[in-house]
Chain A
Amino acid sequence: MIKVKNLNVRFKNVHAVRGVDLEIQNGETVAIVGESGCGKSALAKSLVKLFPKKTAEFSGEVIYNGQNILTFSEKELRKIRGKEIGMIFQDPMTSLNPVLTIGFQITESYLRHFPEKSKKDAVKRTEELLELVGIPKDRIYHYPHTLSGGMRQRALIAIALAASPKLLIADEPTTALDVTLQAQILDLLKDLQKKLGMSILIITHDLSVVAGFADKVLVMYAGKIIESANVDDLFETPSHPYTQRLLRSKPRLDMPRSEPLLPIDGTPPDLSKQFAGCSFCPRCTESLEICKNETPPIFNINPGHTSACWLKK
């Protein structure tokens, strides 16, 4: 239902997103995984061009409902934001306006997209939403500072869903929460997806969040998607060396305690520079001669599983 073709996003001298293609089907959960600074947040925000005026340059296409919304004017995009595509962000402590009640911030989104509805309808809708996300209804007139972190994140989800969007983009929704809350929020999102039949695009740096949550996983590195697969395929038969190293670097319950952790040497590349050849090559232990000079294209490893690596395994 939403298709991204060859998206490139530049900020001043930083080329954050370099020719990304992706597709999200109706009702599907897609995850984009990558280290800090790989461009994944920029990618998420680019789908609705959520940057201050004139700070970012776009090229490529984002096709939604048969139209390239990247060419839309700001006014037209505002109709899409919140109504077709909703977003939640990383830090629930700072993402809510402290001087407005939770209820106000939810009804605001609803009434903006359905201006014909009355205030009563809006309040009713808000109560429904609060129930849906698991917040007691009496909180509707409370201010954000009376809510805990987990509750605030739920409130943000309620806000994002107020106008019934078809796609929910979650940018690191669990990063600022502790592990038990993480599980709760993820369960909530999965539950909401089933109930509302919407698609979810989740951005995260944490692979463990992805397993058991996403249907499809895209691994991002230095502004490019370097591997894309179903979640099971990715975890069982990772193809790209980066993905493999990523999976190996995380401690596992079934690992013997004496086995050392295996981090990836080096640091992620600077996105203000261009690279000759494969961007992972400097840190890759299996690189070939060709990797240094030629950028690998996307190869089909198996049906539904692609990898941008010359090794083609």
Chain B
Amino acid sequence: MLTYIIKKFWILLLSLFLVATLTFFLMHAIPGDPFTQDKAIPEEIMAALKKHYGLDRPLWVQYLSYLKGIVTFDLGPSFKYEGRTVSEIIMQGFPISLELGAEAIFLAIGLGISLGTLAAFNHLRWQDQFVMFFAVLGVSLPSFIVATALQYVFSMKLELLPVARWGSFTHSILPAVSLSLLPAAFIARLTRSNMVEILQQDYILTARSKGLAPFRIAVVHVLRNALLPVISFLGPLAAAVLTGSFVVEKIFGIPGLGGWFVMSVVNRDYTVIMGTTLFYSACLMVCVLVVDILYCLIDPRIKLNERVAET
């Protein structure tokens, strides 16, 4: 078990290293420099600025210092916001995005599994059709459209919920719902097809021949098997919620990390872009690793070492 985790951990580090390198060279491949955006700056000031930010050093020196910075959590200063460092920005925005993301994930899982189960147990009847249609909608309607539609209907017209900003629980309802619809649709589809397959398995027949009640069969026998693939979906789920947050935070004016990322992209604030990208990648990779481990713990069939099955 331990060797497995360590192996995966090394892969994670390798991937992060690749991402860091890639983003570094990408940012430095952009023509021009961070300062020539607004107005023409005199030569001496430009040189002084470059020296201040260390941009006059040879590329590979900058690269190494960048890598060193990552290890010490020093991701550099923001070029657009005087006096703020990238780490500060991340620490400020991340908790907000985390809260929003967690709400969305809970919603997605709850909604997705319930609907998927409903559909599977009523295979090919109207409940199934309805759930399948909802699932296709969820997958096709882009999150920013759902978000704006919800905002329009519930905030502007019906005035039931706040339009934007962050603060209380009610502020998080619409954004969380918008974020959760796409993953919920995926989970519903996945749950449904797994369950339908499982319901046709022989061991369900065995369970029924024991005289067990349908509810017990559903929960103890079906669900446990059906949920395994859903758990392994949690990794991509986290990624979807993450990218969805860029747009949802923009629409609802939420000061989370996604909003910062978008602004830094629009402003060409390179250090912030690199820093947040790296941070996001790290988060996602950790998520995937956790999910992998979880999956191994839950499914008794997975062998974590090389031992041959006993007979």
Q: Which residue of chain A has its CB nearest to the CB of B228?
A: A99
A223, CB-defined interface residue at 8 Å? no
Task: Tell whether A2 is near chain B: CB-to-CB under 8 Å.
Answer: no
Q: Are A81's CB and B210's CB within 8 A?
A: yes
Q: Give the chain B neighbours of A109 by CB distance below 8 A.
A: 210-212
Assess whether A263 is interfacial by the CB under 8 Å rule.
no
Task: Tell me the complex Cα distance, A198–B212, Å.
Answer: 22
**Which residues does chain A contribute within 8 Å of B221, judged by CB atoms?**
97, 100
CB-based contact B211/A89 at 8 Å: no
Count of chain A residues near B, Cβ 8 A? 37
- B202 A91 Cβ-Cβ under 8 A: yes
* Least distance between A182 CB and chain B CB atoms (Å): 18
Asked if A226 is at the interface of the complex by the 8 Å CB criterion, the answer is no
* A81 with B202, Cβ < 8 A, contacts A97-B225, A98-B301, A100-B221 known: no
CB distance from B103 to the nearest CB of A (A): 30
**Are B205's CB and A99's CB within 8 A?**
no
Query: Which residues of the partner chain A approach B208 to less than 8 Å between Cβ atoms?
Result: 50, 81
Q: Which of A128-187 contact B (CB under 8 A)?
A: 142-143, 145-148, 151, 156, 159-160, 162-163
Q: How large, as a class, is the contact surface on chain B?
A: 20 to 34
When distances are taken between beta carbons in the complex, the residues of chain A under 8 Å from B205 are: 50, 89, 95
A83 within 8 A of B: yes
- State whether A50 touches B203 (Cβ < 8 A): no
Q: What mask results when residues 60 to 101 of chain B are scored 1 for a CB within 8 Å of chain A, else 0?
A: 000000000000000000000000000000000000000000
Q: Which residues of A contact B (CB under 8 A)?
A: 48, 50, 77-83, 86-87, 89, 91, 94-100, 105, 108-109, 112-113, 142-143, 145-148, 151, 156, 159-160, 162-163
Interface hits, B206-223 → A, CB 8 Å: 206-213, 216, 220-221
- B203, B208, B299: residue with the most chain A Cβ atoms closer than 10 Å: B203
Known: A86-B209, A91-B202, A105-B206. 16 other contacts (CB 8 A): A48-B209, A78-B213, A80-B211, A81-B211, A82-B210, A87-B206, A87-B209, A89-B205, A94-B201, A95-B206, A97-B207, A112-B212, A142-B310, A146-B311, A156-B206, A159-B210
Cα-based distance from A146 to B300 in the complex (angstroms): 10
Say yes or no: B202 contacts A94, CB within 8 Å: yes
Let me know if B57 is at the binding interface, CB within 8 A. no
Give the 10 A-B CB pairs with smallest separation, nearest first. A81-B211, A82-B211, A87-B209, A94-B202, A82-B210, A109-B210, A95-B202, A97-B203, A143-B300, A78-B211
Minimum C-beta distance from A69 to chain B (A) = 13
Q: Which residues of A contact B224 (CB under 8 A)?
A: 99-100
A97-B225, A98-B300, A143-B301 known; A112-B210 Cβ under 8 A = yes
**Which residues does chain A contribute within 8 Å of B298, judged by CB atoms?**
99
Shortest A107–chain B CB gap in Å is 11
Q: Cβ of B309 < 8 Å from any Cβ of A? A: yes
A99 touches B311 (CB 8 A): no
State A95–B213 Cα separation when bound (angstroms).
18
Within the assembled complex, what's the spacing in Å between the Cα atoms of A151 and B209?
Answer: 20
Q: Mark B138-159, 1 if CB is under 8 A from A, else 0.
A: 0000000000000000000000
Query: What are some 13 contacts across the A-B interface (CB < 8 A)?
Result: A50-B209, A81-B210, A82-B212, A83-B211, A99-B300, A108-B210, A108-B220, A109-B212, A113-B211, A145-B300, A146-B311, A156-B206, A160-B209
